Every structure is written in C-alpha cells, then in structure tokens.
Homo-oligomer: A and B are copies of this chain.
Amino acid sequence: MVAALAGVSRSTVSRVVNSSPKVTQDAIVAVTRAIEELGYVPNRAARSLASRRTLTIALVIPENTARFFADPYFSSVIQGIATQLSPTEYTLTLLIASEADPEKTRRYLQAGNVDGAIILSHHTDDLSYAQLAHTLPIVFGGRPTGDEAGDAYVVDVDNVDAARTATQYLIDHGRTRLATIAGPQNMAPGIDRLQGWRDAARGAGLDVGVVEAGDFSPAGGAEAMRRILSRGVAIDGLFVASAQMASGALTALREAGLGVPGDVAITTIDDDYFSQNAMPPLTTVEQPTSLQGATLADTLVRLIAGEHVQRVTIVPTTLIERESV
C-alpha cells in the first residue's frame, strides 16, 4: 500500500493523512506523493471505527416540516449548510424525522452514527431534541420553543425585530389602520413576528386588534386575508409574516377590488420568489437564509471540535424597499 511506496510505516501514513504535527517534512512529501500516485483514498468506515468519530453530520428535518419543503427557505438553508461543509471532511446526512416514530430518529442520533446534528426546526415539539443536546453536539436552526431551549445552540434571525422593522415601515409611510397576517402560533417565527408587529403598532399608539393567523402557505395567507376583510374594518396597512402568505393575501385583496399599495400597503418577511415576483413586488425584510445555513454548519463543526462558540447567533436581516408601500 501507500506505506510501502513511501518507505514508511502505516502509522506515519496515518499521521500524514491526519496532518499530525509530529512528522518530518520529508515523510510528508514522500507519503503525499505516494498517495497521489496510488490514488489512495482512506476508507471512511475504518477511520470511523478506529477513531471513534464518524465525520458525519445529520441534518434533521421534522416530518411536518418536510411538508413545508417547497418553502424556498429550507432549500436555501440546506444549500448554505452543504456548501459550508463541502470543503471540510464532514459529510451531510439528511434525516427526515418521522412523527409516527420519533424514537427512531433519536436512537439514530444517540447511537453514535453522527458527530453532531443540525435541527431545522419550525415546530414546538422539536424541543424533544433539546435533551439530546446533552449527549451530542446539536445546533438548532431557528429557536426551538419551550423551556429547555435556554441552553441550546441556536442560529436564528431576530424575528421580533424583523417584524418590528417591517411594521414600522408601514407606520413611517403614514399608514395608521394596521392589520397583520400572523404565522402559526405554535412556531417561534410565528410567535415572534406577531410580537414584533404588536410592539411597533403599540409604540405608535395604533390598534393591534386586527390579527389573523395563517400557516405560512399562500393558501393560508389568502384565507386569513379574507377573514380580515370580512371583519368590515377598513385597513390601510398590512404586515404579513411570510412572503408566501403575502402572495396569497394579494390574491384575496385583488378579489376584493383593493389596490396595493393604493388602498392597502403591505410589508412582509423573506426575499424570495414570492416577494420578488408578486404584483406589485413586495417591500420585505430579508433573512440571509444561505448564510444562516453556513453559520449553522460552521457553529456545529466548531462545537464538535471542542471550540467555545456562542450559544445564540443572530444573523442580520435587511429591509428591501419595493413597490408594495
């Protein structure tokens, strides 16, 4: 094998491969060349078995979340993770956590199949994974709701702030009769964005009574919009907790013969196809999804390496002005 060609022992080859500091330059060169020549690639399983590391990171997506898979948000976060991991020696394993048998996923993670996990969470019950964090390095994408979440590693956007910014933008542009289409109130982003809307509206002394929740989907947004309209309360400003819902809301407004931004100004969150290609294009608060993915991966890799990393990383959001206000 390589050792023979390089004229050293297998141990030395191993040292070179793992870039141990205690190897002569000569040995490094010889081994490197031998590796090159033989096209040698170390066997993962053997390394894993001997070193008791798997060099594998799990990306856990709760099944209910997987249904939201069409959400560009996930695709983009995943892309960020995969890209960040690509130059490292870690491999990404996709795990769709079955709701029917949550233990299966937990066992898999517990069993030492991976060195760490990224949990892309959306729902309250993702908390169940928080306990795992005592056994295994885990980083959450999006704050998990619940009590034990306090000491979890999290990469998130400041949803309260994002919503506040979007709402304030409406207020700053003279809108005074506000409404919001909130997200599901059992998901952190849903809760936080409603909070942000309330903060801004209250801060301006406005009524915060006109609230309807949707499920983050276009259809849910349309339905919520119709419920708001059927209240018979005239509104002139609307904050929608996601661009997908906003696109549905636009449909409902159009049905009702209301113009945007003429009759109702709209701001939302997410800079995706939905906000970019809506009619009119939507003023929105962008969350850097791909960066969030990269940060998740980076945080986890450092965590596994035993480095000290901060528990909560907030990636910055940006207001993008378009034509819906």
Contacts and interface: CB of A to CB of B under 8 A. Distances in A.
- Count this chain's copies in the assembly: 2
Contact of A54 (B44, B79, B86): B44
A309 interface: no
A311 interface: no
Contacts of A41: 107-108, 110-112
Nearest to A43: B112
Contacts of A38: none
Nearest to A56: B93
Interface string A218-257: 1000000000000000000000000010011001001000
Interface residues on A, range: 35 or more
A91 interface: yes
Chain A interface helix/strand/loop/mixed: helix
Contacts of A43: 49, 111-112
Given A41-B107, A44-B113, A111-B41, A83 B70 contact: no
Nearest to A67: B79
A93 B91 contact: yes
B272 A70 contact: yes
A96 B111 contact: no
A69 B43 CA distance: 31
B277 A247 contact: yes
A277 B218 contact: yes
Contacts of A66: 79, 82-83
Interface of A: 39, 41-46, 48-49, 54, 56, 59, 66, 69-72, 74-76, 78-79, 82-83, 86, 91-96, 98, 107-108, 110-113, 218, 244, 247-248, 251, 254, 272-274, 276-277, 279
